[in-house]
A and B are shown apart, each in its own frame.
Chain A
Amino acid sequence: MAQTAEPTPAAGDREALGRALRSLLPDDAVLDHPEELRPYECDGLSAYRKLPLVVVLPETVEQVQEVMRYCAGQRIPVVARGAGTGLSGGALPLENGVLMSLAKFNRILDIDLLNRAARVQPGVRNLAISEAVSASGFYYAPDPSSQIACSIGGNVAENAGGLHCLKYGLTVHNILKLQVVTVEGDLVTIGSDGLDAPGYDLLALMTGSEGMLGIIVEITVRLLPKPMSAKLIMASFDDVEKAGDAVGNIIATGIIPGGLEMMDNLATRATEDFVHAGYDTNAAAILFCELDGTPEEVDADLVRVNEVLEQSGCTDIRIAKDEQQRQLFWSGRKAAFPAAGRLSPDYYCIDGTIPRKKIGYVLTRIAEMGREYGLRIANVFHAGDGNLHPLILYDGNKPGEFERTEELGGKILELSVEVGGTITGEHGVGVEKINQMCVQFESTELTQFHALKHAFDPHSLLNPGKAVPTLSRCAEFGAMHVHKGELKFPHLERF
């Protein structure tokens, strides 16, 4: 399929493109000095960096359309960017392309409480939506740990999840309608203000499409009433496998917790140093189980979950005594990534999802693999969904350590596929997991993905080269695999 090669741009290209785009946008909405471009050279996966030719910061839908029309006409690739918190290099710029930041689209346009919906621009921060409706007793359910920073547009593009998606669903379950600018600069409405729309479910298709099918310029999200009561239980285990089994045992009772998260000992110690929540730093793993609903329901469920945790062999149980303590207990979980960042100069976050029943087995295997590679791994993850986040700690300044980390990460993803799971639960494929797509999918399936992309973007101008590998790339990766670590073509750029 069409994939743009990336020749290094001549200096003149940048100036000429900047000039052309300034004729469509206000002057300050076009950045083309290398030092202005720096902040956009990477997303949250900072190991990969590239300077785009030009950055544009449109602030109206018409401006987005103008830029797309121009770029489509000139066959210039465009990468959309929300807040740049993505962890898979989805918003990594292309050296021969335009980076379009949606940061100026930061307004909440309408809140309709009776219909329980809010219409917002893509650059609005995830948490800002819940804040805007909190006083009325509502919230927007998907709550990624990055929610103070990440944009709702980026959430849709990645189908972001959060601590409460076991019960309340992912982004795809919590949006109603999108306004999307196509690669040719046309504006289309996808979904509706009702609960469904005629034709194919393009709303689901756009969700998680990593900026490859269109530019999202408006989102209507669903709002939920805040639960009357929420209680958080924290259970300690002296063995990671026991904690893993407890997850399945809780689900087997028929109770769906509002949140069911897990941290291993290394992650617990790191976060405890960071937030001083009073975590049990001796435990091999702690399980967070939040129960929400009416006060009567929560009390009944609490008794039941307590029993199950004890039967599952937990060594200690604590229940947050008030709202303040509940927030404190959660704060460590939410800050786990930055906390891990204090254990080591760098960390690398993996995102495989596995069947719940394999949690214990996979965590044990991951620990073994870490020992083999001589790298420490902290685990903090969405246990209820089986969505793992092993954090590999490394030092990018030590020669070869990043490469080993990446290889270990790849191995962990392949393990996820092997046990019946997937290489990414919520962070997306981006540039990061593109090789592992070759492991998860057959060439006929990848070809179907390319055909689908072609239906929206025939010249492959929207975020080209991300998310779906070419077949030749997979052939190359397969060959690399066969030769076990000995890179066959070390001179070829790997991303």
Chain B
Amino acid sequence: MSTDNNIDKELCLVVKQAAAEGTPLRLHGGDTKSFYGRASDGQPLDLRGHSGIVNYEPSELVITARAGTLLVDLESSLAEQGQMLGFEPPHLGAGATLGGTIACGLSGPRRPYAGAARDFVLGVRIINGRGELLRFGGQVMKNVAGYDISRLSVGALGTLGAIVEVSLKVLPVPVREATMRFAMPADQAIRQMNEWAGQPIPISGTCHHDGVLYVRVSGSAAGVDAAIARLDGEMVDEGAALWHGIREHSHAFFADDQPQWRISVPQAAAPLSLDGDWLIEWGGAQRWLKTEAPADVIREQTEAAGGHATLFRGGDRTQEVFHPLRPLLFNLHRNLKDAFDPQRIFNPGRLYRYL
């Protein structure tokens, strides 16, 4: 259970001192996602000591918690009230914290239908590279005062600041869920997922693997029953376990030592002709590829399909693991890094080599 512990003052002091000395810091929570991003060294700064739910009022659909709060604790508090995190964050390990989840910005199967981590973030407190504790956004649904630094922090892998508190919009747990399966090849599945997504059907998850398309529908009892009748697939009994496996990468597909790539392309993009094993999610927008193919070949093909490729797990993590940015875009990234972390102490090189 996460204890209620506010150590933001201490954290600010550590950051200030590191900035003064130019000491790089490796920000971390439960280290469940330390495999993600580039290899990066620094004096460890553990954010788990800064924990606890600060505010949760179910009828406001908002929860605010400190970064070190365990994701399991946060989710069980929500579940007690019949609510959940709409982006179904992957924990990828028992010790996942809220801060690490938001810094990595990963989202689960519900992403294309309900939104990504960034879509649910309403506000953050961060410590910038000067050791200043700053608050952006808030706990209300709509807020356009100032630049959207809250969402900018999502997926920045801690390179812009240490996230110390997050406010999230939450959703009611659907009354009913059901999963169906359909035997079909990948190209047909991609078309089918997108045709269905273009109709008012309460789809909440899609996955194609090994010649089978799985579709999850969620909503009110009446809405789900109607969707089942409409899609008319073969019912899958162990649906919850299937989606859990995909979300947590405990599905057999991910048990492999080969480099694992995350290919992000327009949802309806035709299958890529890269050799390897594929698992397609998110209506086609997120495709997992296990392959030994060279990075430049993968990137070239993905780019040609209008997307970007991430070396998600394994492979050479001293090279760029995220898709290289065009020079103009990279300059903006570098300028932003300097604006938040002028001494470049936070997770140097974790996102891109020169950030």
Interface residues of A (CB under 8 A from B): 112-117, 137-138, 158-159, 161, 165-166, 169-170, 172-173, 182, 186, 188-190, 192-202, 204-205, 207-209, 213, 225-228, 248-249, 251-252, 254-256, 293-297, 299-301, 353-357, 382, 384-387, 420-429, 433, 437, 440-442, 444-445, 448-449, 451-456, 467-468
Contact = CB atoms under 8 A, between A and B. Distances in A.
Contacts of B222: 294, 296-297, 299-300
B191 A114 contact: yes
Interface of B: 57-62, 82, 105, 111-112, 115-116, 118-119, 128, 132, 134-136, 138-149, 151-152, 154-156, 160, 171-173, 175, 191, 194-195, 197-202, 219-223, 225-227, 264-268, 282, 285-286, 306-308, 310, 322-326, 328-329, 332-333, 335-336, 338-340, 351-352
Contacts, number: 267
A296 B225 contact: yes
A254 B144 contact: no
Interface centre among B145, B227, B339 (most CB of A within 10 A): B145
A188 B59 CA distance: 41
A294 B141 contact: no
B268 A114 contact: yes
A426 B148 contact: no
A122 to B, nearest CB: 18
Top 4 nearest A-B pairs (CB, nearest first) are A296-B222, A254-B172, A204-B151, A455-B335
Contacts of B286: 195
11 contacts: A115-B267, A172-B148, A193-B266, A195-B112, A195-B267, A294-B223, A354-B140, A387-B142, A426-B142, A441-B146, A448-B134
A355 B202 CA distance: 29
Nearest to A447: B132
A433 B145 contact: yes
A385 B142 contact: yes
A204 B118 contact: yes
B303 to A, nearest CB: 10
A300 B220 contact: yes
Given A198-B323, A421-B138, A445-B135, A452 B226 contact: no
Contacts of B136: 445
Contact of A115 (B266, B322, B325, B338): B266
Given A116-B198, A300-B221, A301-B220, A195 B111 contact: yes
Contact of B116 (A196, A200, A353, A357): A196
B200 A227 contact: yes
Contact of B198 (A225, A353, A437): A225
Contacts of B328: 182, 186, 188
A422 B143 contact: yes
Nearest to A354: B140
Contacts of B306: 192-194
Contacts of A137: 198-199
B146 A204 contact: no
